[in-house]
Amino acid sequence: MRSMTEDYTDRNPELAGLYGAHVAAVCERHDRALANAGAAHAVVFAGCPKTVFLDDRQYPFRANAHFLGWAPLPNLPLSYIVYTPGEKPRLIYYLPRDYWHAVPDEPAGYWTPEFDVCVVHDVDQVPALLPEARDKCILIGEIDDPAHAFDIERINPAAAINILHFARGVKSEYELACMRLASRRGALGHVAAEAAFRNGQSGFDIHRAYCRAVSQSDNELPYDNIIALNANSAVLHYTELDREPPQSLRSFLIDAGAQVHGYASDITRTYSYDDARFAELVQRMDAAQLDIVSRVRAGVDYRELHVETHRILAGVLADAGFVRGDPDTLLATGVTSAFFPHGLGHLLGIQVHDVGGFMENESGTTIDPPSGHPFLRLTRRLEEDMVLTVEPGIYVIDMLLDKLRGADAENHVNWDEVDWLRPFGGVRIEDNVRVTADGCENLTRDAFAAMV
């Protein structure tokens, strides 16, 4: 089995060899964004720590995704990147003098040659390093305190942001390399979590086993881990981390990822403890998920794939005895939506639900999800080197199933069989896939295979 020997550092030679081309691509998209916005300079703000109301503690810092798209610096608040077309990007690297808290390291790593790095020890030093003509600047980032804008009035103009968001849908080779590493890191955590489940541990202890395996704290994970045992698997975002294990173990659903240089993985697996019938259902879902993944390729309309997934899951539900009827009828009557209420997947990258999933083009025109499927987060046509999730699921969610009663749909449900499934909660299988011209690269399956 693969050990924790992956090079996740900023000395990784593979990432170092790809990073220059990545920065060039980021510069090119900013060139177009600035031209469209009629501006000469882009100032990208990393963000500012937020203080808890009526307290002196700060929430965990999350860097602006646009800042992370330039540089792998997730823990560098109050810093700025200044970009002027034709010039080397400038990184204003805030390195406070502080004896109360740990401060960032001195700037070092594969990313430093791509920037004119200017270290500042006080925020008051920032203005002198910004373009003098503030009226020709746009600022990209969240500004809670106007002082952090330094008199730049155009903040996140749509004419620029739309271009940047649309472009982020297609990943550079550097970004793909980071996401492969994030997938391998996440796979380590999933293997450790399954072992903890089979050892009878609580949700909280399973979560701790996961964090140890990926060597990341809760604040470093890309999102709150979903650790759901038994019927809790039917709660789509179950993040309670129960301190005691249930009296009897039936099932385990884990939705958890990891980060490498700001890029995320997002992986879901479901396990049966010792019930052969539920294990067979998980296998059916795994086969269905792989069937759906096999349909991913450049040019596919993801809305159509989402609707086709409902037909595929109708077959799974019927074969398992939970429903009866042909797939189109089960889809039209809302039966499949009661069992599978969320979207098939979403774009993945710096953000778990990455931006641009609804965009038709870089002008900002959006594409609505299919009628009756409001929670689909990716509606655009797939392009080569997009990375997205494919995560079909079936669940016993009583508040949704109860809506079928009293309608024609009620007669298509085998309610006694649904009662059997209820204590197990449900099944979800999620992989992260890169779109290619004639298929896809399954980052998740490759990561698990590499551990054998």
Query: Residue 99's pLDDT band (boundaries 50, 70, 90)?
Result: confident
Q: Are residues 109 and 207 in the same domain?
A: no
Beta bridge partners of 170: 386
Q: Is the pLDDT of residue 197 over 90?
A: yes
Q: Residues of the chain with pLDDT > 90: what percent? A: 95
The answer to the question of residue 183 being in a domain is: yes
Q: What is the mean pLDDT of residues 104-129?
A: 95
In three-state secondary structure terms, 442 is strand
Q: What is the mean pLDDT of residues 56-79?
A: 96
In three-state secondary structure terms, 192 is helix
Q: What is the mean pLDDT of residues 149-174?
A: 98
Domain span at residue 188 reads 173-450
Comparing 96-105, 138-147, 218-227, the range with the smallest average pLDDT is 96-105
CA-to-CA dists, residue 132 to 119, 150, 151, 201, angstroms: 19, 11, 10, 59
CA-based diameter of the chain, in Å?
Answer: 72
For residue 324, what is the DSSP state? -
Q: Tell me the CB-side half-sphere exposure of residue 316, using CA atoms within 13 A.
A: 29
Q: Are residues 133 and 149 in the same domain?
A: yes
Q: Are residues 194 and 57 in the same domain?
A: no
CA-to-CA dists, residue 342 to 345, 346, 377, 433, angstroms: 9, 11, 9, 18
Domain-terminating residue out of 132, 149, 167? 167
Q: Is the pLDDT of residue 3 over 60?
A: no
Q: Are residues 383 and 415 in the same domain?
A: yes
Name the region of 230 (left: φ>0; alpha: ψ -120 to 50; beta: rest).
Answer: left
Identify the residue whose tokens are 């968001």: 165
The answer to the question of residue 312 being in a domain is: yes
Q: Are residues 138 and 177 in the same domain?
A: no
pLDDT of residue 385: 98
Q: Render pLDDT for 367-383 as a digit per residue (tens, 0 to 9).
A: 999 999 999 999 999 99
Alpha-carbon dihedral 444, 445, 451, 452, rounded to 10 degrees:
170
The answer to the question of residue 1 being in a domain is: no
Which CATH number do you get for residue 143? 3.40.350.10
The answer to the question of residue 7 being in a domain is: no
pTM comes to 0.96
Q: How many helices (H) and strands (E) does the chain have?
A: 12, 15
Query: Residue 2's pLDDT band (boundaries 50, 70, 90)?
Result: very low
Q: What is the mean pLDDT of residues 146-151?
A: 96
Looking at the 3D structure of the chain, how many domains does it have?
A: 2
Q: Are residues 68 and 83 in the same domain?
A: yes
The answer to the question of residue 2 being in a domain is: no
pLDDT of residue 237: 97
Distance separating alpha carbons of residues 313 and 292, to the nearest angstrom: 10
pLDDT of residue 9: 82
Helix ranges (H only) for 199-275 are 203-214
Q: Is the pLDDT of residue 112 over 70?
A: yes
Query: In terms of Cα–Cα distance, which of 15, 45, 36 is closest to 158?
Result: 36
Q: Is the pLDDT of residue 307 over 70?
A: yes
pLDDT of residue 161: 98
Q: Are residues 113 and 84 in the same domain?
A: yes
Domain-terminating residue out of 167, 191, 223? 167
In three-state secondary structure terms, 270 is strand
The answer to the question of residue 8 being in a domain is: no
Q: Are residues 285 and 226 in the same domain?
A: yes
